Chain A
């Protein structure tokens, strides 16, 4: 299994966000993302087939209308 390393995290933060992480912070973040990857793979076992994420289209329409109203 691929493992995210501190230097890789440091490079990603720099290239994606122009953000400088210290070596220690990069190691800690690599550990956190690594744990997240493990947990994310475990979620596949929950049988998520066909389940939609809970983002509602009615909310999007309402937000668009609200945004339109406040921009007038």
Chain B
């Protein structure tokens, strides 16, 4: 029997080892997490639905199965939670929207089907920016999700609940989704690890779309290794999603712990511009740390990266509007004002602009691949700023009270790798003077998540984890 705090302090790997050796029961871990949700979620609003009874039943089943020698793997008995756009059979799946407020799917998305098959315990469904259509998670229908480091700050989005729950320790691992940065932005603002793997690596079957050609579902976790372990469970071809890749799935942890000595990484010059002084200083310190670890750190240039936000938003607007057409025409008043405006713009996006934006994606990828020649990864800040202030209207506010331009503050850093489909991981690099997390991204070649995890894990081990926020 372990104390409540101790149970919540373990990452997935440590918890899994203790569950496997029966030092800890999945039942007591699940109860600890359910208590923690009760303790924190009135303030945080990370959850939309808590599936307590179902979690208890799954934890008990896991306990019995493990006792009988049927340990399934690292996620057996681990309490997890899903962004509430992941379809779960028999469980409310709202998309953070009024439109789907009472929607109960009759099938599971593949991501959850695979986690459940691996023995994971579902704690509940997590808050998000309505329909994943923004980066604040100031949700007009299910409550304002808040940043665990400062309750007056946004957690980022759209997977704000997924990141807030990780940092608040109200889930051991979560799933988010990322169309323009929606895994990495909340991971950056909340101070945890967010992995957007290569597009098509993970099935999107049963994940409510924002923009099909840019959408990814992926892990948000406390540590790099946890992200690799979770990706291991959910990756691989799925006949229900013909866009999912048949590329072999490697052991994502295989290079974790490998030295960076002699490796070369490229710092994307264009993404060093326009960042706050604190982000710049913290990022420079993280580059110094990588050099200390033996990596050769060099500046690289991707000129077309400046076009990426425009390419991403054109595609996102058009694809989102096509998916939402029936609802936006018949129930426009049921959308929050920001998402509604995006969809209205999408309805009138000329097809020519859409196709041109799609064609331009290959140019950015070609330049990115050139920058990766003889290098194992690229590096950039994950955002220009730390978490901005909450505005009840759904915007994000700077300290001055002026609205933050989220395109130049975050989308410029994250969206390039949605349009190229490359794997990109956000991880914490320190705290600002206001005690808010700062973050960097590590970007790899398509289907080379292994190198991304190698660089990220080496850095994480050298720097150590961020101090826990007081909640």
Contacts and interface: CB of A to CB of B under 8 A. Distances in A.
Interface of A: 9, 12-13, 16-19, 21, 25, 28-29, 32-33, 36-37, 39-40, 42-44, 46-48, 51-56, 58-59, 62-63, 66
Contacts of A63: 242
Contacts of A54: 213, 358, 361-362
B363 A47 contact: yes
Contact of A43 (B311, B328, B347): B311
Contact of B348 (A13, A44, A55): A13
Contacts of A18: 329
16 contacts: A13-B348, A17-B325, A32-B317, A32-B345, A33-B350, A36-B310, A37-B353, A43-B307, A43-B310, A46-B307, A46-B360, A46-B363, A51-B360, A53-B359, A56-B243, A59-B243
A55 B360 CA distance: 13
A47 B332 CA distance: 39
B261 interface: no
B356 interface: yes
A28 to B, nearest CB: 6
Nearest to A30: B348
A18 B311 CA distance: 28
Contact of A36 (B307, B314, B363): B314
Contacts of B363: 46-48, 51
Given A43-B307, A62-B242, A21 B356 contact: no
B344 A13 contact: yes
A33 B348 contact: yes
Given A16-B347, A43-B357, A53-B355, 10 more contacts: A17-B329, A17-B347, A19-B344, A19-B347, A25-B344, A33-B345, A36-B345, A44-B356, A52-B359, A53-B359
B286 interface: no
Nearest to A69: B239
Overall SS of chain B's interface? helix
Most chain A CB neighbours (cut-off 10 Å) among B243, B307, B360, B362: B360
Contact of A29 (B242, B344, B353): B344
A16 B348 CA distance: 9
Q: Which 3 A-B pairs have the closest CB atoms?
A: A62-B242, A39-B310, A53-B358
B280 interface: no
Contacts of A42: 307, 310
A27 B341 CA distance: 11
A44 to B, nearest CB: 7
A29 B321 CA distance: 13
Interface centre among B311, B356, B362 (most CB of A within 10 A): B356
Contacts of A66: 239-240, 242
B327 to A, nearest CB: 12
Interface in B347-392: 347-350, 352-353, 355-363
Contacts of A9: 348
Contacts of B328: 19
Contacts of B359: 48, 51-53
Given A33-B349, A37-B353, A19 B329 contact: yes
Contacts of A21: 344
A39 B242 contact: no
B40 to A, nearest CB: 37
Nearest to A39: B310
A36 B341 contact: no
B348 A40 contact: no
A56 B212 CA distance: 13
B313 A36 contact: yes
Contact of B345 (A29, A48, A53): A29
Contacts of A13: 344, 347-348
Contact of B352 (A12, A40, A56, A62): A40
A63 B345 CA distance: 28
B352 to A, nearest CB: 7
B187 to A, nearest CB: 26
B340 to A, nearest CB: 8
A48 B344 CA distance: 28
Nearest to A53: B358
Contacts of B348: 9, 12-13, 16, 29, 33
Nearest to B309: A39
A46 to B, nearest CB: 5
Contact of B349 (A28, A36, A51): A36
A32 B338 CA distance: 13
Contact of B341 (A29, A37, A59): A29
Interface in B110-157: none
A40 B354 CA distance: 9
